[in-house]
């Protein structure tokens, strides 16, 4: 048995000259195996080389669950006695002939715990960063992956629309966030959300990574939602800003400036265009309106099985966009102590340009 993801991983290993790749539970592990496993005090690892079936090291009671992964592997089970774990890793290393070899890992996610198990069990192995490989592994999405992300967007948008029914002056951010979390589950999101939703009113909306608070909404506030759903492991990430009652002319001006920047980025996003050019297109709109110093973050980030992954959309990034890349378009203006506005959509690069995965209306809505 084989699968296309394993073949892609092995091709990248050849390209980047890595002897072995080690994966532990997380997005890369699920992408390869289709299995949702959790990081725990017991190790779970898959070791991949180019010329042999992968080795899976895991607790014995876990092994039957791997029968569905779609490719052949060798199992190296262990019991709950931690003193036996090293032996399972030693046997896996002998099977794959890893003595003296390099083992590439995703340095953002691989733990010291598993690093030490490998180093103690396999003579002279070297654990190295596989950043060059992992940046490419999930960079371009398939049609199936994009369909999952579209479903995740529909779920998120359905949940927000139902949540908006309770918004009024006098309600707290915490109450709204609780309702949004419940509605996301009712709409069909995977239980593990991409991130904890942000619900930020008034001056709190000026903090791009605001924590939900007990602040009470007031008439004249901007209310910002940054939220997403997960479907079949794939994420959506959306931001919309609403007016709670009547807002000032300045608030309207800032909102319309951010909306123009959001649209400018979409017009620019095409295959063959550098990521940085998309950021600069949005930033130019905000700078023209005199708010450049208040656009304090990059335009966006890649999206897939993680809420933040490659490609990252910042002004200096020369990476060329290509078909299947998915990323966020989220310009913002943050006026500390006053208010903030952000409008975020999820875009996928197509042969001709880009397609919006998200569809929730972007014009200013008064609640």
The CATH number linked to 315 is 3.90.230.10
- The number of distinct structural domains making up the chain is 2
**Cα–Cα distance measured from residue 15 to residue 134, given in angstroms and rounded to the nearest whole number:** 12
| pLDDT tens sequence across 31-77 | 999 999 999 999 999 999 999 999 999 999 999 999 989 999 999 99
**Is 366 contained in some domain?**
no
**Is 363 contained in some domain?**
no
Residues of the chain with pLDDT under 70: 1-2
Predicted local distance difference test score (pLDDT) of residue 2: 54
| pLDDT tens sequence across 98-144 | 999 999 999 999 999 999 999 999 999 999 999 999 999 999 999 99
Same domain flag for 170 and 306: yes
Predicted local distance difference test score (pLDDT) of residue 71: 94
Which of 137, 165, 180 terminates a domain? The answer is: 137
**Is 254 contained in some domain?**
yes
State which residues form the domain around 126: 4-137
Same domain flag for 257 and 302: yes
Predicted local distance difference test score (pLDDT) of residue 1: 45
Same domain flag for 101 and 147: no
Same domain flag for 152 and 254: yes
Residue 68 belongs to a domain with what CATH number?
Answer: 3.40.350.10
Residue 102 dihedral angles phi and psi, to the nearest 5°? -90, 140
Predicted local distance difference test score (pLDDT) of residue 282: 98
**Is 364 contained in some domain?**
no
Same domain flag for 42 and 178: no
Same domain flag for 66 and 204: no
């Amino acid at each position: 048995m084989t699968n296309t993801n394993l073949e892609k991983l092995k091709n990248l290993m050849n390209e980047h000259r890595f002897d072995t790749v080690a994966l532990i539970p997380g997005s890369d592990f699920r992408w390869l195996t289709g299995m949702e496993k959790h990081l725990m005090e017991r190790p779970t690892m898959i070791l991949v080389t180019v010329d042999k079936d992968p080795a899976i090291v895991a607790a014995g009671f876990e092994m039957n669950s791997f029968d569905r992964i779609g490719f052949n592997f060798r199992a190296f089970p262990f019991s709950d006695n931690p003193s036996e774990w090293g032996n399972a890793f030693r046997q896996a290393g002998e099977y794959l002939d890893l003595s003296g070899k390099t083992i590439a890992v995703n340095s953002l996610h691989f733990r010291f715990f598993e690093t030490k198990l490998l180093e103690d069990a396999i003579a002279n192995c070297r654990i190295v960063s596989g950043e060059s490989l992992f940046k490419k592994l999930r960079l371009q999405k398939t049609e199936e992956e994009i369909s999952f992300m579209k479903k995740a967007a529909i779920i998120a948008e359905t949940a927000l629309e139902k949540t908006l029914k309770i918004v009024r002056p006098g309600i707290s951010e915490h109450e709204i966030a609780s309702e949004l979390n419940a509605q996301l589950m009712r709409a069909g999101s995977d239980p593990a959300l991409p991130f904890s939703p942000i619900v930020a009113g008034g001056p709190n909306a000026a903090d791009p990574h605001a924590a939900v608070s007990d602040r009470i909404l007031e008439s004249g506030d901007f209310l910002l939602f940054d939220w997403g759903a997960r479907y079949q492991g794939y994420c959506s990430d959306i931001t919309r800003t609403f007016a709670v009652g009547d807002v000032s002319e300045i608030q309207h001006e800032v909102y319309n400036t951010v909306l123009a920047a959001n649209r400018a980025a979409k017009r620019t996003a095409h295959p063959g265009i550098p990521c940085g050019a998309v950021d600069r297109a949005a930033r130019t709109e905000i700078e023209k309106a005199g708010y450049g110093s208040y656009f304090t973050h990059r335009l966006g980030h890649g999206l897939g099985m993680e809420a933040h992954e490659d490609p990252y959309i910042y002004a200096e990034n020369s990476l060329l966009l290509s078909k299947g890349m998915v990323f966020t378009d989220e310009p913002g203006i943050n006026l500390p102590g006053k208010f903030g506005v952000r409008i975020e959509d999820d875009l996928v690069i197509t042969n001709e340009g880009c397609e919006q995965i998200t569809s929730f209306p972007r014009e200013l809505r008064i609640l």
